[in-house]
Amino acid sequence: MKSSIWEKPAFHVAVQIVLGIALHLNRPWLGGLQGWDDAWYAAGALGMLESRDFLTPMINGSPAFFTAPPLFYAFLALSFAVFGATTFAAKFVGGVCTIAAVLAVFFTARQLFRSLWVAALAATVFNLDPFILKFGHHAVAHTAWACVVTLALGALHQARRKPAFYFAFSVFSALSILFKSLLGALPLAIGGLWLVWDRAKRKELLYFSGAAGLAIALGSLWFWVEYFRFGHMFLEEHFGEMLFRYSRVDKFVEVAPMRLVRTVTSLARASFLGFIFLPLNIGFLWKRNTSESRLLILWILVPLACLVGVRVHDPKYVAPFFAGMALGSGWLLDYFLSVRMRRNLLSGIYALGLVWILVSVAFPVSTGRDHLANTGVLIEKIRSQVPPQGRWILVVKPYIPLDPRWPNRMFVEYIQPDGIVNQILFYARRHFAAIHPQDLRTIPDNSIVFAYHKDLSPGSSPHLKSLLEGPGWTLYRFAL
């Protein structure tokens, strides 16, 4: 008897790839890069490429390893080397990583549940999740991180039957660390808790301990190299600043209820569909009471616990949560829907995806959200006014200390909310020199000065002449 096309994995894989291209790689050259976080990653990768140092992201000519390890920066730098440092090259990496994450969800679901229907439903849920639709085409590491965490936990599940997969678990967990540093230990935390809850045999726990140790050893190689190169400055920049921004453990107990509220509201804003499915998923998985359901419960709840604990309540810091939610949702839909309903649901989604592709080809999208709408003229003005090897002057907030050991430390993060400086660094290819308002009288003649109105009091310098006004900022020329 001839099998139906619905029973062929290659069909679903091909459709998911086509859907991914239509949703996450549809004209990635439009709109420019958002200041946060796209232009930050892109500027760091461009600095990597210019310095030929693929271990250390470089922002404004200085190391910028306080935000994240170098793996995603290196991906962007490779894309820039192939395609040139353009908006397309930056967004292309994000789209490819998102499609890879969709496929990781598909194959992991098939391996966990031995069901092609669950795999197709889970991959579709992930592909269409509002959070993934929003960030899937951005030059950020969120979906790449979700991809390697999914592969790591899928490998761990397989390793309980075939111990050779513990090595794959180690490699993918190490990559997770190289994407997100301390947060990258997520698969180790989820895997360890799962084995304990699942009452794994002592032999399995020993295997896992060895695999976790190997993952930490591989993932920590970058940290050791940077420590030997930069000493305590690296520790202060990377771990000190990261712990300040993402933990604030000292304030956790007294504000835990508010943290929980902010976590729930931020999740609802990022993915209302996922927010609705969350209690349904947890309830369904709890009732199933299988080894796989216990893994998925931890896969969903451990990232949420991390989100409650961090200072910045943004779901992008727990992107693997959405992969776990997609796997649970796929299993839930497979359980409650008949074969005909599953087929009709997927047929409708696949057909809509095909229609969207045909419509976008017939009527190409020429406009969209323009992240350079307010800054494009500013960037061009700086490019035209500042020589290629010159620097423009950035006036920083008076309360930010100037560290002579690390003159550009955290300036880009504190001086503005929308990442305008990141966009200038990437698109204008000009570095800046940071000063305080009281130092304006000491800068060279004919310098280009960029400042927010609230950072520059009237009469700061009688020699500043306005060149360009913008929403909340002004570009000046300093001239006699």
Identify the segments of the chain with pLDDT beneath 50: 1, 248-254, 409-417
Q: Domains of the chain: which residue ranges?
A: 5-362, 376-478
Strands 447-452 and 473-478: antiparallel
How many Å apart are CA 376 and CA 70, to the nearest integer? Answer: 28
> What is the pLDDT, as a whole number, of residue 213?
96
> What is the pLDDT, as a whole number, of residue 182?
85
> What is the pLDDT, as a whole number, of residue 261?
64
What values do phi and psi take at 443, rounded to 5? -80, 160
Nearest to 177 by CA among 244, 235, 222, 240: 222
CA 142 vs CA 20, 147, 183, 245, 398: distances in Å: 16, 9, 12, 18, 33
How many C-beta atoms surround the C-beta of residue 338 within 10 A?
8
How many C-beta atoms surround the C-beta of residue 402 within 10 A?
14
Per-residue pLDDT reduced to its tens digit, 312-365: 667 777 889 999 999 999 999 999 999 899 999 999 988 888 888 787 777 766
How many Å apart are CA 476 and CA 156, to the nearest integer? Answer: 57
Number of residues that make up the chain: 480
Per-residue pLDDT reduced to its tens digit, 406-422: 555 444 444 444 588 88
> What is the pLDDT, as a whole number, of residue 176?
96
CB 98, CB 72: distance < 8 Å: no
> What is the pLDDT, as a whole number, of residue 465?
85
Structure tokens that stand for 360 in this block = 């976008």
Please give the distance of CA 237 from its chain centroid, rounded to a whole number.
20
How many Å apart are CA 123 and CA 331, to the nearest integer? Answer: 11
Strand-by-strand arrangement of the 464-470 sheet: 431-435, 391-395, 447-452, 473-478, 464-470
CB 28, CB 34: distance < 8 Å: no
What values do phi and psi take at 298, rounded to 5? -70, -35
CA atoms within 13 A on the CB side of 54: 10
Residue type, 99: I
pTM of structure: 0.90
Structure tokens that stand for 436 in this block = 């305080």
How many Å apart are CA 371 and CA 388, to the nearest integer? Answer: 24
How many Å apart are CA 21 and CA 10, to the nearest integer? Answer: 16
Structure tokens that stand for 424 in this block = 């200038």
Residue type, 348: G
Please give the distance of CA 125 from its chain centroid, rounded to a whole number.
19
Written in H, E and C, the secondary structure of the chain is CCCCHHHCHHHHHHHHHHHHHHHHCCCCCCCCCCHHHHHHHHHHHHHHHHHCCCCCCEECCEECCCCCCCHHHHHHHHHHHHHCCCHHHHHHHHHHHHHHHHHHHHHHHHHHHCCHHHHHHHHHHHHHCHHHHHHCCCCCCHHHHHHHHHHHHHHHHHHCCCCCHHHHHHHHHHHHHHHHHHHHHHHHHHHHHHHHHCCCCHHHHHHHHHHHHHHHHHHCHHHHHHHHHHCHHHHHHHHHHHHHHHCCHHHHHHHHHHHHHHHHHHHHHHCHHHHHHHHHHHHHHHHHCCHHHHHHHHHHHHHHHHHHHCCCCCHHHHCHHHHHHHHHHHHHHHHHCCHHHHHHHHHHHHHHHHHHHHHHHHCCCCCCCCCCCCCHHHHHHHHHHCCCCCEEEEECCCCCCCCCCCCCCCHHHHCCCCCHHHHHHHHHCCEEEEECHHHHHHCCCCEEEEEEHHHCCCCCCCCEEEEEEECCEEEEEECC
CB 197, CB 289: distance < 8 Å: no
Structure tokens that stand for 419 in this block = 């990442």
